[in-house]
Structure formats: C-alpha cells, structure tokens
Structure 1
C-alpha cells in the first residue's frame, strides 16, 4: 500500500512538472509572436496606445483601415478586431486597455447577435493565454464554465489549441505579416453574384450575459469619458428587418450612444465588386467605407 501511494505521488509530481515545463515553453513562444491574429490580440491588450481604437469581429478586422482614419482625422488608430470573436471578447480587450490608458475615441463595429449560443462562450478560449496576468478579464472568461479558475491553474491548458498558430506567428509568415496594417487585414476577392434577400427578422431567446457585457462596454466608455460610436458596417444582402441590429440600436439609444447602420446603404448594395463575400468588404470597399467612417467621426467630434 505504501509503495502504491509513493508511486502515485511520484506520478503526480511528474505530471505537474511536465505541465509546468511545457506550459512555460508554450507561454514563451506565444508571447514571442510578432505576426498573426494572436500577436494582434496581445498587442491590443498589452501595447497599443493609439488615440482611436476599432473594436469588433471579422467585419471590424477587414473593414476599417487605420491609415485612412489617421490621415483624415490626424489621430493615431489601431484596429483590435478579431475574426469570430464578439461581445465578450471586445469588452475583455477594452477592460485590459483601460488598465493602461484612455483612448480618445472608440469605434465599435457591431456584428453577431444577442442569442444564447454556447459557441460564443467556447470562443472565449482566445483569451485564455491572458487569464493569468490580466485579472480584469477573468470575470468574462469565467463565463465559459465554472471550472475555468481551476483549469487555468494548468500551464498547458491556456495554450492547448494554439500550437499551429504559435509556430506561424514566430516564423514571420510573409502573407500574415506583410499585409497587416495596424490590425487591419485586407481581403482581395470580388463578389460576382446578385444581391439576395436574407431573412434575419426572426426573434430569438436573448442571452442576458450578452446584454450585460455589451452594456458594460458602453458604460466603461462613459465612465472614462471616452466618446464611443457604434456602427454596423456594410453587407451585400438585403433584409426587411434584423432583430439583432434593432436590439443593438435600442440599447445604444438607452445609453445615449451614437449608432450608425450602413447595411441599407445603396452605394454598397449596388456594388458587389466592393465585397469579398456577402459579409465582408474587400480592400477597395474598406477604403471607401473607412472614408465614410471618417465623415461620421468628424460629425461626432464636432457636435
């Protein structure tokens, strides 16, 4: 019996040592990245000090060109958008930013919805590498599951799905590094199909956590005296009504936050050549849209 207990203790020590050692190695190479979407998240959370920050998911990442905004407004700009990451991610990044400094203006590109969707909680894994050193985001990451505080005691767990991207980010893959401009990632396809109707007016069960976290984002801006503008960038399909957009508009109105919806703009709906796919502008479209955003910023700043 004593031998069994001794072997169990030795096995436990070996597992803990391996977990710690491998975890430290993964952590080192994760934060050593100098390109790719994980590097851009790290830069957004820990380094950016730009005057204007863009928040959002893939439509933010591919639609807002900081170079145009900087040139026209005379302020520095960084795009914190990340594909496939929505309300939870954006508020977590903002909380980390505010630990360091206060931006002069925030542009929030609304994409996604307020539905109860487990996939959106699963996507909080993108924030796991920052859990240990950024206590301000833990309450959001803990929404993923009640076991997150215990899982994150592991050295490997925060990085267990990042290995391939860590390799790319450390190798300075040309296609990733060369075409990235202050967080903006251009798309170069040209959509050729006709405009279609999208049925997006169906109501769904609202996730109270998403409403709470979206409100927290707007409240944090107000508490820190940071002007915030919520925008819905162009899409290439038409719809009668959109439950998510209308709900977002309502919440912005309640918070007295400017809201601009470009999804019905005929200049974009009549120009498929400005899109990479129905949900995303290509680089040419992003250039035009960024100039429209500049006019919106000027309007807000001059009010």
Structure 2
C-alpha cells in the first residue's frame, strides 16, 4: 500500500510539473492572435468618445477613422465578423469594465438574423482562446461551458488546440486597421449581384430569448452608464424589411435609430458591395459619411 501511495505521489508531482510547462503556450498565445482588440480592452487601451459595436456589418461597413475626421470625436471599432448579439453584450461589458466609458455606442444590427438561430453569427469563443492567461476570460469560458473549474489550477485545462498553432494566419476579411475597422476593397467571388426586391418575411416566433435578453442587456448598460445608443441599420443588396425595422424599434423604443438613405442609387449598385450583406470599402465610406452626419446632428441637439 505504501509503495502504491508513493508511486501515486510521484506521478502527481511529475504531472504537476509537466502541466506547468504548458504555461509557456498560455503566455505565448496572445502574441500570435491576429486580432488584438479584446486584449487591448482587457488592458484598458480603448478609451474613445465613439465606439462601434456589432458583427461584420459594423466591422466592414463603418470606418472609425473616418468618423473621427468627420465628427471631431475620437472613435474605435470593436465589431467582430461572425459574432452574435450575445458576444456583443460580452464585448460591451468588457469594454466598460476595463476602459473609460464612451459617450456614444453605434450598434450595427444584423438584418434579419439579429435574434434568429444562426450558424454564421455565433459567440466567438475562438477570439477568447488566445487570451486564456487572463482570469476574466477563463471565467467567461467556464460560464459558457467551454471550460471547467480545473482550469483554475491546471494549465492543460485552459488550453485549446488553437493554442498550439503558433503561426499568424490573417484572413483578408479580418485584417484589422488601426482604428479597429475592417473594410475590404475587393468582391466576394461567391457574390451574385442580383438585387433582391422581394422582402423576406420575418417571424418573431423564431427568435431566441437568449439573444433578445442580450439585446436588452446592451440597452440597459448604455442607459445605466448614460451612453447614447445609436442602433444602426446597414444596407443589404436587397429591399430592407419594414417588419424587421419595426420589430427592433418595438424592443428599444427610447433608443436613437439611424437608417441609411434607401433612396441612394449606390445601395443598389453592385460596385459598392462586397457581397449580399456587406459593403466594400467604397460603399462603406459613403455609409460612414451618413452615420457621421447623423452623429453631428445628435451633437447639435
């Protein structure tokens, strides 16, 4: 029995030592991430007057550096392609926890998938894996069921297979500018430039309550911190849905709403789009100018 206990103790000590060697990967992982914005937030480095929040419609369609020039206020974009409203809620909470609160949040809405089940927009856990050295991030992953309590004392429990890929591989559609925005100056080869005139039906019954609750959380955080919330509708290469617009307005009755100029011919011109749901850099510059003009009007009021 004593021999067994001795062997067990030796095994435990060896395992403990070996496990701690993997801290090197935990430490190095942030240096190989392609998007530094979340770590910048964790280190209190995003302190701006205007913040852009959302998914790819915010990241690609709204150019923060242009907003700075056109409004005279500092701006930064923390919108993440492929992210859903639950991730946006997490991003805003993180921003407010570690940084000076902004004056204005521009929240880019995803039409029509804002509250619907989707595989294209999700909670971007992959953006958190390189940052597991931060206890705050580790706890978020635990809360999401992606880790368990052992990650508090075992390095291997904190690691994901992505932590072992110590090579930077940047996608053209996720190349972050200094202002945080990700405009693209090319066209998606899968884009079929046929403007869709028919309006797709919007079924409220398909909405997920978890996504609605995240939306309400964003509204409440802005209200609690006295932040101007501007809910923004971006152009799709199709006729906008009045039913979807009305639904968003009904859920946020006291918010500011910016709706692009639907009469502009550029928003029906394939030359200004990356694909059916996103503008290219040329289109984003036009759309951003409209957003800036709206912000300037708000400032006057």
Using the size of structure 2 for normalisation, the TM-score is 0.81
The offset of 1:9, in angstroms, is 4.3
Query: Does the CA-based 8 Å contact 1:132-1:152 persist in structure 2?
Result: no
- The count of aligned residue pairs is 292
The offset of 1:109, in angstroms, is 0.9
Instruction: Indicate the larger mover: 123-132 or 293-302.
Output: 123-132
Q: Which residue number in structure 1 is paired with residue 167 of structure 2?
A: 167
Provide the alpha-carbon RMSD of the alignment: 3.4
Residue 40 (str. 1) matches residue 23 (str. 2): no
Change (3 A) 1:121 1:179: closer
Consecutive unaligned residues in structure 2, runs of 5 or more? none
- Partners of 2:7 and 2:247 lie apart in 1 by 59
Aligned counterpart for 2:185 among listed residues 183, 188, 195: 188
Change (3 A) 1:13 1:202: farther
Change (3 A) 1:177 1:60: closer
The offset of 1:74, in angstroms, is 0.8
Give CA-to-partner distance per residue, 1:112-170, whole Å, 9 cap, x none: 422356886663353355566464994x655522x74426434244441434775217x
The offset of 1:48, in angstroms, is 1.0
Consecutive unaligned residues in structure 1, runs of 5 or more? none
The offset of 1:70, in angstroms, is 0.6
The offset of 1:59, in angstroms, is 1.4
Change (3 A) 1:240 1:215: closer
Q: Which residue number in structure 1 is paired with residue 19 of structure 2?
A: 19
Equivalent residues in 2 for 1:77-226 (5 A)?
A: 77-99=75-97, 100-111=99-110, 112-115=113-116, 123-128=124-129, 130=131, 133=134, 135=136, 138=139, 141-142=141-142, 144-145=144-145, 148-150=147-149, 152-153=151-152, 154-163=154-163, 166-168=166-168, 180-190=177-187, 193-196=193-196, 197=198, 199-226=200-227
Change (3 A) 1:203 1:164: farther
- Partners of 2:75 and 2:93 lie apart in 1 by 18
- Partners of 2:13 and 2:118 lie apart in 1 by 39
